Amino acid sequence: MYKLVLQVQLYGGLFASTKITLYSYFLVILHYIGPGRRGTGDWCFSDGFITFTDIANLYIKHFKGRTLGITSDCSYSGQWVEACKEFLDQNGVQPCGHSAMKSGIKLKVNCSCQPDQIGSSLIYSARGCGNDKNCGVTYVNNNSLIADNQTTCTFNFTAITCEKSPEEECALIPNYTFQEKRKRSRIYTVRGVDRGRPAWQITQGENSGMTTSRSDYGVRIKSGWGQEPPQEVMDWVARVQKGLEDLPPH
């Protein structure tokens, strides 16, 4: 361990702390425990707030090229996962570790609750987390229930998500961003009857996972006869959602 900075403040009578640990030239850990700002998950201190953008800008200026692990143990902390996705889109980093490594923007965000949840005080750090054997970073699996109405929200933005190995070129299509990934998650199957025959339709809309018989619901991508789409169609949809194939023009 090369450097350790510990900041402790009181905010509205509540304890808040931020610990910055430089484990080596290649790894920086930032761990916050305290209150979170409603709607943003920003870190609260007696003299103001620290936003994800504040942290991201400091990282680009001083630590770019190293891995930054952020652990946020506060209410609404999951907002920072979404903020990180927007930040990476703005900086041209795709949803795959290949792109993160190539850009030098290597981020891991571990949050104690979902974007709209109030976190129980200290429960994430006290009960719901473990320590990475390599560097001691606080972590917990994504979508883990650690208290009543509190589910973790984590994302390793350096993880390889395409079909290639770390040594190979990334397989994602060029226009696949986090925003595009969110849109493609809303691809679902419509089943119904057309002119007296069973029919299916692959649709992109706002209701991910819904099944409906309305043939005009959303933007049609593919369609055909039968109770269910053929397996090759469903395999193609899975590749589209992963950013490995492009959508046909509408």
**Per-residue pLDDT reduced to its tens digit, 82-99:** 999 999 999 999 999 999
Q: How confident is the model at residue 15 (pLDDT cuts 50, 70, 90)?
A: very low
User: CA of 219: how far to CAs of 121, 122, 192, 224, in Å?
Assistant: 44, 45, 16, 15
Q: For residue 190, what is the enclosing H or E element?
A: strand 187-194
Look at 15-29, 139-153, 161-175, 182-196 and tell me which has the smallest mean pLDDT.
15-29
Beta-carbon contacts of 90 under 8 Å, excluding residues fewer than 6 positions away, are none
Residue 184 scores a pLDDT above 80 = yes
Q: Rounded CA gap, 148 and 152, in Å?
A: 12
Answer whether residue 37 shows pLDDT above 50.
Answer: yes
Q: CB neighbours of 52 closer than 8 A, spacing ≥ 6?
A: 41, 42, 79, 80, 83, 84, 87
Least confident of 2-6, 112-116, 190-194, 215-219: 2-6
5-14, 39-48, 88-97, 207-216: which range is least confident on average? 5-14
More confident residue, 6 or 19: 19
